[in-house]
Each structure stands twice: as structure tokens, then as C-alpha cells.
Amino acid sequence: MSIRLLVFLTVLSHLSFAGFRVVLSLMAIHHQASPFTVGVVMSLLTVVAMLLAVRWGRWVDRIGVRWPMLAGVAAILVAMVLVWAVPRLETLFIASPLAGSGFFLYHIAAGQAAAMIGRPEDRVKNFSLLALAFSTSGFLGPMLAGFAIDGIGHANAMLALAAGALVNTVVLGTRKVEVQRNDPTAVQEGKRRIADLLRIPGFRLVFIVSGALSMTWDLFAFAIPIYGSQLGLSASTIGVILGAFGAAVFVVRLALPLIAHRLDEWRMLIAAMFMSGATLLVFPLVDGVPLLLALSFLLGIGLGGTQPFLMALLYAKAPAGRGAEVLSVRTWIINFCQTSVPLASGALGAALGMLPVFWAMGASLLVTGFFAARGK
């Protein structure tokens, strides 16, 4: 498997999944689901992955990437076809965890593939290209979903968006694409404990940094619509502010493959935490749209390039034969943040307002960056 093929397949699979999420929520609303029910349907996307991510990582380490990637994208395809065939609210409770499980399994295997393609020094570049693939499809998927729903309805939109997963399934099912596999002697199940990973010098700090950055990403997506509404901004203006963040992420990830070999991963992560933390401290003090757009773009610049560096650092520190397992632990952290951050931030915001929410996360990034700089 080449990095170009991996990027192509990832764009297709994530295009379907990103569109699936939009249709999933809007279809639930179309069926008169309450906000609580919609929240349950959406939360089911990550529940199974939280429980099984580490086991999936060990499976990828043991058998390679092709079959897990195929199983993951096939699960997305089956979920989307199921919703099209049985367009009922009850179906969404089955399709959501099925598609979510498939995507996160694919995500772990794709990360392993990016790490194993080429030389070790190519990893940051490969992870940057993979992140760019997710950004591209993450932008196109929701947009195509919206147009498809308006044009052909919810169920048919789901079927149309399944085309990417179908092509991916056909390619992986018919072509024997694989990357270098781990040494079988290095992947014995009995020797694998997560606690052992945390004893490796520097590993715990990388996981803490990963968690802090993931929480910031999820906080921003959650807090900006609430903060913008409190300021009296229109939905389109809030969307533009979020779009500025997404545009910055895309720009950074577009540039990273060209300059990754010149950068020090750890220093870039520390710089990103300091810049992002300072930006979050300023955010709730601003109410003008131009400044909000500038701060949103600045935060996107800070956070946009962190994922490739984190994945490269984690893989470099991983014991032999446990690379995918390490990446799966990071996936678990992301899923946990996606579930817990909105709940905790919502409770804090309801009690004290949004200013403490922004300041708490900004301060946590600055403190984490300080300890990361000392522990380097």
C-alpha cells in the first residue's frame, strides 16, 4: 500500500462517515425525536469504540491493516444501507454504533498503515497527509449531506453518501494491499498491559498532552455555538467563525507534509499548547465578529498540526509490535473527551457562564505546556 492509496481510501471512507453523522442527526429530528433522543443516537457513535478500541489496536498489530480496514469500512456501508432500507427512528439506534465502530476501527488501522509506510522519518509527513485526508472529507461530507437531503430526502441521501464506503470496500476486498507487518514474536497477547506503556519514560506525558489537546478541540466545537448565541450572533455568523477554524486546520495540514522533516515534534506541540491556551483566555473577552474570526483562525493554526506530531511521537515511543495498540489508546482518549467534555462544559457553563469554561481549558493547556517543556 502506498501513502497515496491510503489517503484516497481514507477520503472515501470518511466522506461517507462524515455525511452519515449529519444525516443521522437530521433524520432523527425529521422523525420528531426529542433533543435528548438525538443526543443518545449521536453518543452511540463512540460508545462501542470506547469499550473495544484497545482490543482493536492489538488485533491490528497482530494481523496487519487490510482486514481491519475492510471490516471497518464494510460496517459503515452496512449501517448506511440499513438506514436506507429501513428509514425508521429505531433503526438509527442500531446504525449509529455500527457505523461508529466501523469508522474508529478503520481509523486505527489507517494510522498503523501511515506509520508503517516508508521510513521512520516519513511518519510525520504520512500522518500529516492522513490528517489532511480527514480534513478534506470532513469538510465535503457534511456539505454533500446537506445538499443531498434537500434534493432527494434523508434515506436516499444516506444511500448516495454510501458510495464512498462502497468503492473503498471493493478496492480493499479485491486488491491485496498491505503494509509491513509486525514481527509475530513481538505481539504476544499475554505480555500486553496498558500500565506497562505508562511506565515508559515520557509516554505518560505524551498521553496527557494528547488528552489536553483533544479536550480543547471538542470544547471549541461545543462552546462557540453557545457563546455566539449569547452574543446574539446569527447561525450563519457562528458557522463562519467555526469555518475559520476549519480553514486554518486545513491550511496547516496542507503545509505540514512539505515542512514536516524540518520540525521538532515536541517543540511544535509545546508551542501549539501555549498559543492555543493564550487564545482561549482571550476568546471570552471579545465580542466583535472580526476579532472572533481572527482568534478562531489562530486557534485552528495552533491545533491543526498537533495530530500528526502526536501520532508520530506515540508510534516512535511504542514498544515493538504495539504501535496500533498505542494509537488505539489515543483513540480511546478522543472518544472519552467527545463524550465527557460537552457534559462537563455544559454543566459549568450553565452554573457560571462561558467565561470560566474558556479560561479553564486555556489554563489547562498553558499548565500542560509548561510541564511538557520541563519534561522534554
Complete domains list, the chain, with CATH: 3-177 (1.20.1250.20), 194-375 (1.20.1250.20)
DSSP state letter for 261: G
Grid cell locating 307: 495530530
- Provide the whole-model pTM: 0.75
Given a cut of 90, is residue 65 above it in pLDDT? Answer: no
**What is the C-alpha to C-alpha distance for residues 53 and 237, in angstroms, rounded to an integer?**
37
Given a cut of 90, is residue 294 above it in pLDDT? Answer: yes
Residues 6+ apart with CB under 8 A from 195: none
DSSP state letter for 182: P
Contacts 24+ apart (CB under 8 A), 18-21: 18/137, 18/138, 18/140, 18/141, 18/142, 18/145, 19/141, 19/142, 19/144, 19/145, 19/148, 19/157, 19/161, 20/76, 20/79, 20/80, 20/99, 20/141, 20/145, 20/158, 20/161, 21/45, 21/141, 21/142
Q: Strand (E) positions, the chain?
A: none
Given a cut of 60, is residue 281 above it in pLDDT? Answer: yes
Confidence of residue 348 (pLDDT cuts 50, 70, 90): low
Q: Which amino acid is at 113?
A: A
Task: Specify the 3-state DSSP secondary structure of 12.
Answer: helix
Burial class (CB in 10 A: 0-12, 13-18, 19+), 28: buried
Neighbouring C-beta atoms of residue 318, cutoff 10 Å: 20
Give Cα 151 distance to the centre of its chain.
29
Given a cut of 90, is residue 92 above it in pLDDT? Answer: yes
For all residues of the chain together, what is the average pLDDT? 81
Q: Let me know the angle formed at the C-alpha of 303 by 218 and 72, rounded to the nearest 5 degrees.
A: 60
Annotate 54-66 with DSSP letters as a single string.
Answer: HHHHHHHHHH-SH
Confidence of residue 82 (pLDDT cuts 50, 70, 90): very high
CA 318 to each of CA 129, 197, 328: distance values in angstroms, whole numbers, following the listed order: 21, 8, 12
Average pLDDT over residues 265-290: 88
Average pLDDT over residues 309-329: 74
**What is the C-alpha to C-alpha distance for residues 152 and 148, in angstroms, rounded to an integer?**
6
- 76, 165 in Cβ contact below 8 A? yes
- 213, 272 in Cβ contact below 8 A? yes
Average pLDDT over residues 332-341: 68
Q: How far apart are the first and last CA of the chain?
A: 34
Q: What is the CA radius of gyration of the chain?
A: 20
